[in-house]
Amino acid sequence: MSDSRGKGADLPASAKATAGASKLARDREASEGGQAPRRPWWLASAVALVGVVVFWTLGAGAQAQSPSEASIAAGRRIYLQKADCQACHGWAGDGEKMDSQAPDGANLRMSQLDRDQLVFVIKCGLPGRDMPAFDRLAYTDDRCLGRTRADLRRMGLELFDPGATLQSREVERLTDFLLAKVVRQGSMDRAKCIDFWGEEVDVCSEFPR
Summary count for the chain: helices (H), strands (E)? 8, 0
Of the candidate spans 6-14, 45-53, 106-114, 147-155, the one that interacts with ligand HEC by CB under 6 A turns out to be 106-114
Binding segment toward ligand HEC, per CB under 6 A, in 35-43, 127-135, 143-151, 185-193: 127-135
Which of these ranges, 37-45, 67-75, 80-88, 188-196, lies near ligand HEC under the rule CB under 6 A?
80-88
Rounded-to-integer distance, Cα 165 and Cα 138, Å: 10
Q: How far is the CB of 206 from ligand HEC (least distance, A)?
A: 23
Residue 207, SS3 per DSSP: coil
Residue 181: strand, helix, or coil: helix
Residue 76 interacts with ligand HEC (CB under 6 A): yes or no = no
Map residues 142-161 to x or -, x wherever contact with ligand HEC holds by CB under 6 A.
Answer: ------------------x-
Stretch of residues binding ligand HEC (CB under 6 A), selected from 18-26, 41-49, 103-111, 143-151: 103-111
Q: Which is nearer to ligand HEC, 8 or 132 (CB)?
A: 132
122 binds ligand HEC (CB under 6 A): yes
Tell me the residue ranges of DSSP E strands in 81-134.
Answer: none
Is residue 108 a contact point for ligand HEC (CB under 6 A)? yes
Residues written for the chain: 209
Cβ atoms within 10 Å of 27's Cβ, excluding its own: 11
Residue 48 or 152 having the CB closest to ligand HEC? 152
Per-residue burial over 91-126, b = 16 or more CB atoms within 10 Å of its CB, e = otherwise: bbbbeebeeeeeeebbbbbebebeeeebbbbbbbbe
Give the angle 116-121-122 at the CA atoms, nearest 5°: 100
DSSP codes, 21-89: HHHHHHHHHHHTTS------HHHHHHHHHHHHHHHHHHHHHHHHSPPPHHHHHHHHHIIIIIS-THHHH
**Which residue in the set 16, 73, 130, 207 belongs to the binding site for ligand HEC (CB under 6 A)?**
130
Least distance in angstroms from the C-beta of 52 to ligand HEC = 34
Q: How far is the CB of 111 from ligand HEC (least distance, A)?
A: 3
Please give the residue ranges that form the binding site for ligand HEC (CB under 6 A): 83-85, 87-89, 102-106, 108, 111, 113, 118, 121-122, 126, 129-132, 134, 160, 174
